[in-house]
Structure 1
Amino acid sequence: MKTVVITGGNDGIGRGLALTRLERGDKVVVIGRSEEKGKGLLAAAEERGAGDRAFFIAADLSLVAENRRVLDEIKASFPVVDALVLCARFFRSDRFQTADGYENTFALEYLSRYLLSHGLTETLEKSEAPVIVNVAGPGIQKPGIRWQDLQSERGYNGVGAQMQAGTANDLLGVAYAAEHTGRTRYVLINPGSTATSIAGQYDAMTKAHVDALKRMGKPVAQAVAPIDAVIDAPPVEPLSAYVEGERIRVDHPALFDKDAAARLATVTEELLAR
């Protein structure tokens, strides 16, 4: 039996993975903002006879303090974590600033993943085959980090904010693998277009595009399969990346820049220290 922690596990790929792992006999800890959806997940687990192995933590992961609270709760309740799966996302057509003063996409889709990845490492290392799965967008040529505008204060664009968060997560994987030399493996996964709720706040034009993606995207079960596989058998290498189940190289300097990764890690620590 493994213990699997999933952010964004109330919906879409995260929920599909949670139910899959419960059916396999694992303990699953889901972190999500909606208590109503969390109760729905727990009810679904109960129906499958897995109610005693399903756990829900309500949290707004766009807030630094909430991430730290979640880390404390997990460490107190689960002495060993075998897999951390990072799925939480929320698209915003309009710029939104969190109470911490960070742009929401940057905070939720990058800072949270940074905090949880590093914060759970000690607990993960107690597992025989620990793995962190960051469900983002590796393999896509994205613009580089806007070092002078990390918070997208100038000319905000929802897609641009998502792309910057995706680049930041690629670099997070590179920096994590360079810093941590234990057993924990870091896996970046791009599931491709998937028919999920694609949660967000959309303008009319973007909503029309999202609705088309929902109609044309692959089934959730198909997107879950490669994530499920690396939980059962993490790659040997400290860092690996997959696009729709196909492994890609992680030594491409334009996609996985080691210098940029080290710089971003330093900048992130400075941001969090303030």
Structure 2
Amino acid sequence: MSRTIVITGGTSGIGLALARHYAALGEQVVAVGSSEEGGRRLRAEVPRARFVRCDLSSLRETRDLVERLSADHPVIDALVLAAFRYNPRRVTTAEGFEHTFALYVLNRRLMAEGLRGPLEKAPSPVIVNLCGAGRGGRINWDDLQLENGYRAVAATMQGARASVLLGAAYGSERVKYVLYNPVFVATGLHEPFRQPLRGVVRAASALFGQPVARAVPPITALIDRPPAEPVSVWRKGKRIEPAVDRDEAQRFASTVLAMSAL
């Protein structure tokens, strides 16, 4: 019997490569992306995959997506959280959230919690959160939306730390939560930048970035054989042990829960 694999950010980069891999194995792949252009790319490269369009930075659209996926797929074997966009300048969503926080933090929390039911019905369920785990980062408790002095790196690093805290607080008896940092992968990191910086970032990706094809196998290994531990953190295929304060994790999870309810 085929598995159901849901991938956010599944129309480009690592997400698209994972969709291609699992579709070729005959699994039921649902790739979520924000644009019709991405959907056309997915249909051209992975015709067996199902494309679902959703603005994942929107809480309303994410809730609607969770309802649709739960209705269409009563059992989900794996949820891969790969949607991300690097914003050189501060961007605010229509709902008033800083975009990186909405996409990298709020969306991932809503997806993991909202699909808990279908995941827990699977034989060996797993959530794989592709993030910057193990790189440090801190939560800006006094300014979560980075309204004062936004810096793209700070927003990204806060999101990486948030993923670790939300993973630690997830607390499912059946669903394994994997935080995976693929490090520097040659995907579309250059796209948000303007020239000439865009060309510089593109060249750096080509020179120093890990090819997507090389980044995928360690991730599929964790999807196919989830770790025994409820929560585990990995960096480029190797297990790591980042410091996690349980009180901070619960505090942050409660804060994000209140924000997500808006």
Q: Is structure 2 residue 236 aligned with structure 1 residue 244? A: yes
Residue in structure 2 matching 1:198, options 169, 184, 189 = 189
Q: Deviations over 1:214-244 (max 9, x none)?
A: 2121110111111111111000000001100
**Structure 1: which amino acid aligns with 2:161?**
T
Which residue is equivalent to 1:228? 220
Change (3 A) 1:210 1:184: same
Residue 152 of structure 1 aligns to a residue whose secondary structure is coil
Contact 1:184 1:238 in 2 (8 A): yes
Q: Is structure 2 residue 168 aligned with structure 1 residue 174? A: yes
Residue in structure 2 matching 1:89, options 60, 64, 84 = 84
Aligned sequence identity (%): 44
Q: Deviations over 1:111-148 (max 9, x none)?
A: 10000001101100010000000000111122x20101
Q: Which runs of 5+ in 2 are unaligned?
A: none
Residue in structure 1 matching 2:140, options 141, 146, 150 = 146
1:96 CA displacement? 0.7
Which residue is equivalent to 1:218? 210
Show the 5 A alignment for 1:1-274. 1-46=2-47, 51=48, 54-142=49-137, 144-176=138-170, 179-180=171-172, 182-198=173-189, 200-202=191-193, 207=198, 210-215=201-206, 216-249=208-241, 252-253=242-243, 256-274=244-262
1:208 CA displacement? 5.2
Change (3 A) 1:199 1:10: farther
Larger deviation, residues 8-17 vs 199-208:
199-208
Q: Which runs of 5+ in 1 are unaligned?
A: none
**Structure 2: which amino acid aligns with 1:220?**
V
**Structure 1: which amino acid aligns with 2:256?**
T
Aligned pairs, number:
260
Q: Deviations over 1:23-82 (max 9, x none)?
A: 111110000001122122122223xxxx2xx11110100000110111111111111100
1:199 CA displacement? 6.1
**Structure 1: which amino acid aligns with 2:239?**
R
Change (3 A) 1:209 1:106: farther
Matches of 2:40 and 2:87, distance apart in 1: 25
Matches of 1:217 and 1:56, distance apart in 2: 27
Q: TM-score, normalised by structure 1?
A: 0.91
1:195 CA displacement? 0.9
1:209 CA displacement? 5.2
Q: Deviations over 1:187-218 (max 9, x none)?
A: 00000111111265225575355224321211
User: RMSD between aligned alpha carbons?
Assistant: 1.5
Residue 109 of structure 2 aligns to a residue whose secondary structure is helix
Contact 2:10 2:33 in 1 (8 A): yes
Q: Deviations over 1:143-162 (max 9, x none)?
A: x2010100010100111111
